[in-house]
Amino acid sequence: MITKQKFKKAFTMIELVFVIVIMGILAKFGVEFVAQAYSSFINSKINNELQSNSATAVEFVTTRLQNRIKASTIARENDFTFTPLKDYTNTTANILEWVGSDVDGFRGDTIPYWSGVIDLTLTHSTNIYSPATNTGKVDALIDILSDGNSGLNDAAIYFVNPDSLDSNWGWDADTNKFDTQLGVVNNENAIHPINSNGASSFKPVNSASVDNNFSQVAAYEFYQLAWSAYAVGIADWDATTDSGTLTLWYDYQPWKGERYNIHGKSRTIMENVSSFRFIARESLIKVQVCVKSLLIKDEEYSICKEKTIF
pLDDT in tens, 257-286: 888 999 999 999 999 999 999 999 888 899
pLDDT in tens, 222-264: 999 999 999 999 999 998 888 999 999 999 998 888 889 999 9
Q: How many helices and strands in the chain, by DSSP H and E?
A: 4, 13
Nearest CA-CA partner of 228 in 108, 135, 293, 147 = 147
The greatest distance separating any two alpha carbons of the chain, rounded to the nearest whole angstrom, comes to 138
Question: Does position 31 have pLDDT exceeding 70, yes or no?
Answer: no
pLDDT-derived band at 186, boundaries 50, 70, 90: very low
Q: What residue type is assigned to position 309 of the chain?
A: I
pLDDT the model gives residue 177? 57
pLDDT the model gives residue 1? 55
Q: What pTM was computed for the model? A: 0.82
DSSP 182-233: TT----TTSEEEEEE-STTEEEEB-TTS-B---TTS---SBEEEESEEEEEE
